Amino acid sequence: LGISRVTLSRLLNEKSAITPDMAIRLHKWLGRGPTPETWLQMQLAYDLWQVEQMNREYNVIPVKYKNEDTISRTV
C-alpha cells in the first residue's frame, strides 16, 4: 500500500477515515473489487450512520419559497 504501519493500524482500527488517496491505494493493491468511488461511498455511508446515531437536534430554519412550482421545474 505504500503507507506506514501506524497509518494502516489507524485505518484498520477505525481511527481514521478512507480518503480519496487511500481509496485509490486500496483499489490498486487489491487489483479488483471495490472501485475508489465505492470505497468513498462506503466511508460516506459510515460517516452518515455515525452522525445519525448521535440523535442530535438541529436548530435549522427551513427555507421558504414563494412559488414551489417554479422552483421544482427549474431544479
Tell me which of 75 and 8 has the higher pLDDT: 8
Measured N-to-C along each axis, helices 36-53 and 20-30 cross at an angle, to the nearest 10 degrees, of 130
The model's pTM is 0.71
Q: How far is 16 from 43, CA to CA, in rounded Å?
A: 10
In the CATH hierarchy, which fold is given to the domain comprising 5-74? 434 Repressor (Amino-terminal Domain) (1.10.260)
39, pLDDT greater than 80: yes
Distance between alpha carbon 28 and the CA centroid of its chain, in Å? 20
Q: Indicate the domain borders of the chain.
A: 5-74
> Could you tell me the three cell numbers for 17?
477515515
Distance between alpha carbon 62 and the CA centroid of its chain, in Å? 24
Q: Over the chain, what is the mean pLDDT?
A: 89
